[in-house]
A and B are shown apart, each in its own frame.
Chain A
Amino acid sequence: MLPAESASPKAPIVHIQGLRKSYGANEVLKGIDLQVQPGEVIAIIGKSGSGKSTLLRCINGLEVFQSGSLTVDSKPLLHDNPAAMRELRQHVGMIFQSFNLFPHLTVGKNVMLAPTLVKKKDAAAAAAQARQLLERVGLAEKFDAYADQLSGGQQQRVAIARALAMEPAVLLCDEITSALDPELVGEVLRVVESLAEEGMTLLMVTHEMSFARKVSDRVIFMHQGRVHEIGPPGELFGNPQTPELRQFLSSLHD
């Protein structure tokens, strides 16, 4: 199931233990334990409000959690230590539902910004890297374009290139095709699939069940702030163990 070169299962790249998160009195994550191996592709599914996006956003510190521990590449997540957060975020890329490209910068500058600032890459090296990454997502000719001149699918592919420019060990995808017109979903998913094939560790919250089934190594079904069911896609989709998952899956076919 894992790529051959990946480390032994003893060294997870993402290690989450007893993670609890609440907004005021409302607890949205009620103790999450999860270990992700390098190169593993994980799809997180569940109803809205089940905590799946919140879990993803905890992994790069966009959300602060109240208890539990989380390490990426054995670096602990420490919210009130800016240096540690900066270090951790260089290992975790994130792609958002709403793309969030920087509208005042060209596509090329969007990709170059973080490597030049954070990794202190010189402009020429950063530009060369940006061109190569844009080529990889099929947008080499858009280097000098602005985000508002691109379609949603193109914007999302730029966002992927921008995240990859930091050479992350883990990539978080938060419903990255949900804001796209149906005919643009495919081009984005193909890029994600190629990343999976190349051994990138991926955690994705998705509503694209057939894609999750095809690409992921494990599927997590979240329900009411807990990991309700977890396993290989064939098992989860083919033989759901809990009534909640059965109900969720049948609701998708309506």
Chain B
Amino acid sequence: MIVVENLHKSFGDAHILKGISTVFDKGKTNLIIGQSGSGKTVFLKCLLGLFDYESGSISYDGKIFSQLSEDEKRDIRADIGMVFQGGALFDSMTIAENVMFPLRMFTKMSKSEMEDRVDFVLKRVNLSDAHHKMPSEASGGMQKRVAIARAIVNNPKYLFCDEPNSGLDPKTAIVIDNLIQEITDEYQIVTVVNSHDMNSVMEIGEKIVFLKDGHKAWEGSKETIFKTDNEVVTDFVYSSNLFKKVRRMYLDENQ
């Protein structure tokens, strides 16, 4: 479980995060949503320890990150899997080498054990035949799946995804969303997904935190987001004509 309490973060005079508090539970897909510039990426980078924050706290299973020694922070980071927006695959390595990288760095596995584990996770993300390809030879969807494979290869306790389906076609985006959901259920990990894609909200939003101008404007689930009267949320959710139409149909059915 990850607990965030009263988190504040600024860059110079710009106050980006303004007292965010929330809890991300184990075995659930937690979504951070909001418009561009709402502070989602900064929030995620604070959670990952990539940005320092002015005040507040973030605790991983009871351990407050900012109070830990460098070694303890390293132990927590070894339990984190991260899927970056662009994949962040290492260009100079093949897909199999990319996935094997955390194992080489953090385990004492033999080469054959590592290869077996890489085979297993690549099969898990439906990329059994891609071992020897370079990242530049893979499509956007494949790169995202490799990034997911690399993130889960070391059995992490926490999985973070920054806009995992940005730049993907709707069908591939759903495949990636479902994969994240399945992995969360299967390994009972804490998954935090940063997104502004309403399809993701409908597919995997077991818990949703809505950010607006650095504030937590709303918190709920995919079941409650379409029923809320919070104007800020409804503005965002029903910004597209498709969702406006869906809402009209929902209201008509319920009258």
* Co-complex (A, B): no
Binding site for B on A (CB under 8 A): none
